Structure 1
Amino acid sequence: MNKSTGRKITDAEHISQSVTDIITTPIGSRVMRRTYGSYVPRLIDSPQNNVTRMRLISATVMALTEFEPRIRVRKVEIHADKNGKMLMSLNADRADSGDTLTLDNIRMTTV
């Protein structure tokens, strides 16, 4: 179900929603699931350089490997939009069917 509207969504849309939730949730912020989330929120205000980019990619892959078993991550790209906001593009294979899933322009912050 769509977390904003409550309407029915496809499996691919649910995976996309789940990926966004995982990477934008700081580790330790969920009371009953302290390990849920990623280190991405801690890194988002770091300097936009290659070191930070690699840390963001690593944090993303680690979190999705742990909390989203429906996909196998193949490629993560981090880029900034014209306003300097960090965006992510993700290529993955669906675990159930092997189909390729591409998620573009995922906002790395919830604000």
Structure 2
Amino acid sequence: MSGLNRFTGRRLDPNSDEHLVQSIGDILSTPLNLRIGRRAYGSEIPDLIDQPLNARTRIRIFAATAMALQNFEPRVRLKRVQLLVSALGRASLQLDVIRTDRPRRTSATLSVSLRTA
């Protein structure tokens, strides 16, 4: 089985970090109740994108990330989440994870852009 890059159509190794980042990005950027066959798929992050960037919103983003990955991405165990915001207002998440899909559990740091679907 192989994956595809959703933007270029190029093949992706399903065991690569690039495939994992794409999968996590899809989960986090998909609003809940958007997919007809899988209403629970996605996260609350798209609802939080336009909220004021204060401590409460940050905590809600961290919680939404943890819940969504626990429910829909069995290949990782989340260790840490950092919200990075650029001067232009673009946000991304830096995730420190443990890959559970490999023979030896390895740590990885992944950067996922926050965009609405």
Q: Into which bin does the TM-score normalised by the smaller protein fall?
A: over 0.9
1:63 aligns with 2:40: no
How many corresponding residue pairs?
A: 110
Report 1:17-32 matches (<5 A): 17-32=22-37
Kindly report structure 1 stretches of 4+ aligned residues shifted beyond 4 Å.
Answer: none
SS of corresponding position for 1:100: strand
Question: TM-score normalized by structure 2?
Answer: 0.88
- Percent of aligned positions that are identical: 41
1:99 corresponds, among 90, 101, 106, to: 106
User: Structure 2 stretches of 5 or more lacking a match?
Assistant: none
Q: Which letter does structure 1 place at the counterpart of 2:51?
A: S
2:114 is matched with 108
Partner of 2:93: 88
| 1:5 matched to 2:14 | no
TM-score by length of 1: 0.93
Deviation of 1:96 (Å): 2.1
Specify every segment of 5 or more residues in structure 1 that has no aligned partner in the other structure, as ranges.
none
* Shift, 1:48, TM fit: 0.5
- Which AA in structure 1 matches 2:96? N
Separation in structure 2 between the aligned mates of residue 24 and residue 96 of structure 1, nearest angstrom: 23
Aligned Cα root-mean-square deviation (Å): 1.2
Alpha-carbon distance between aligned partners in 2 of 1:37 and 1:79, rounded to the nearest angstrom: 21
Equivalent residues in 2 for 1:27-46, closer than 5 Å: 27-46=32-51
